[in-house]
Every structure is written in structure tokens, then in C-alpha cells.
Amino acid sequence: MFTVQRMYKVFSFSELSEEAKDKVRQWYLDDDLRTNIFTEDCLYRLGELFPNSDLKVEYSLNYCQGDGLNIYGDLRLDDVMEHIKDNFTEKELRFFNWVFREIADEYTMPENDWYHYCICDRHNYLEDVVWECENNYYRNIPYKLIERFEGLIQDYMSELCGQLEQDGYKWFYEPDDEEIEDCCEANGWYFDEDGNYFIFSEDEIVSEDEDGISVEVEIDTDKLLSRANTAATA
């Protein structure tokens, strides 16, 4: 048994030329896991903003007609009220608290059946409330207040979709060099001078010093002799 040491000239992302970095950036963007990561990030943010709701996202971000991002699912109205409540008086807030408690506190936001752009500005978030009030002959239904509430929710949810969409285009098409460098360092990724990912064999022992990357490979001499004898007698 003896050990062979080979030396490779490999580079971290920050050490590459700009042309080689471009190749690594594209390699990084082509990772299929990035779609899952972005989706999970969107769901996490929605969970933070609307802790009692069950919301999802659908999106297509290819710079094509009909592309965009849409939020759908079960929205708790008291969740979204937390983000727009400064637009109402105390008396108006008491009315909505009563509505959420006695009539309806949830609205199911539908998916966009044909495309993926935002349709949050098309929903009537209090349509069940209005129907309930009218069919139970409630008096003095505050239609203008309900309409203002609808408009504020539509604006807030549409702006949120727009922000997530903008973040998505940046995530999929504008890689951040600091993010790439941190990821490469955390995973021990190295590249040749052209920007190709350098793969080490499983049986190689990799070490790094000021001279570069060295790889040690343990070779079983008995196996080598056995292979040589087999080849000689073939």
C-alpha cells in the first residue's frame, strides 16, 4: 500500500475571473432547488404576516405575457386587518370586530385559473358579510365603509404580490455574489480557472494550504499487481 499525492489548481468563487464567475453564476441559477427555496421563503413570509391564515403562492417568472405571482388560499380577515387598521376609527374597528366574530372571519382567495399574475384586486373579500346582512334584513348596512375596507385589502394584497414577484425575478435572474460566495464556502465548492465545478472522487483525501489544493489517494499495491497479472495473461 502506498499514497500518491496530486496537486490541482482550483479556485474559490472570489478568485475567479469575471468571465469564469459568469459561468458559475449561471450554474448556480440553474439549480432546481432554487425554485423550492423561493416557494418556501414566500410561504414563510406569508405565515409571518398572516399567522392564522393558510395561504399559498403560484407564479411564473419568465418575462412572458401572463407571468407574475398570485397569492391564494384561506385568508383570515382579522389577520389582514392588522396591516390596514390605521385607516379606520375606533368605532369602525368595533364594527369589523363584530363582523369577524358574528358573521365571517375568513375569505378563500381563488387561484388564477389561466395565468399566474396577481388577481387579488378582483376579490370581494366581504361578499359573504354583505350577503348575510342583506338576507337577514340588517338595517343601516355601512356599504361605503365595507367598500373602503375592500379597496384597502385589494391594494395591500396586490402590493404584497408585486413585492414577492420583484423578489422572485431578482432571486432567479440576478444572483448576489456575496450569497454565491457564502454558499460555495459553506459547501466547500471549488472551480477550475474556466468556472467549471471541480469534483473530487470519493476515495480522495482533500487538504488545503497556501500552495493550493492537494489530494491524497491511497492505492492498494496488491490490487494493482493483480490487475497487471490479469492484463498480462489476457
Instruction: Flag the least confident range among 51-55, 151-155, 229-233.
Output: 229-233
Q: List, for residues 185-217, the tens digit of each pLDDT value.
A: 888 888 988 999 987 655 554 555 555 555 555
Please state, rounded to an integer, the average pLDDT across all residues of the chain: 86
What percent of the chain is predicted at pLDDT more than 70?
82
Count of positions (residues) in the chain: 234
pTM metric for this prediction:
0.76
Hey, where are the domains in the chain?
2-26+179-233, 30-176
Q: List, for residues 106-119, the tens digit of each pLDDT value.
A: 999 999 988 999 99
φ, ψ of residue 58 in degrees (nearest 5): -130, 140
Query: What is residue 207's predicted lDDT score, i.e. its pLDDT?
Result: 54
Give the Cβ contact number of residue 89 at 10 Å.
9
**72 and 113 Cβ atoms separated by less than 8 Å:** no
Query: Which residue in this structure is represented by grid cell 414577484?
Result: 165
**57 and 71 Cβ atoms separated by less than 8 Å:** yes
Q: What is the average pLDDT across 45-72?
A: 95
Q: What is the average pLDDT across 94-98?
A: 94
Integer Cα distance of 31 and 33 in angstroms: 5
Give the Cβ contact number of residue 54 at 10 Å.
13
Q: How many helices (H) and strands (E) does the chain have?
A: 8, 6
Single-letter amino acid, residue 234: A
**189 and 213 Cβ atoms separated by less than 8 Å:** no
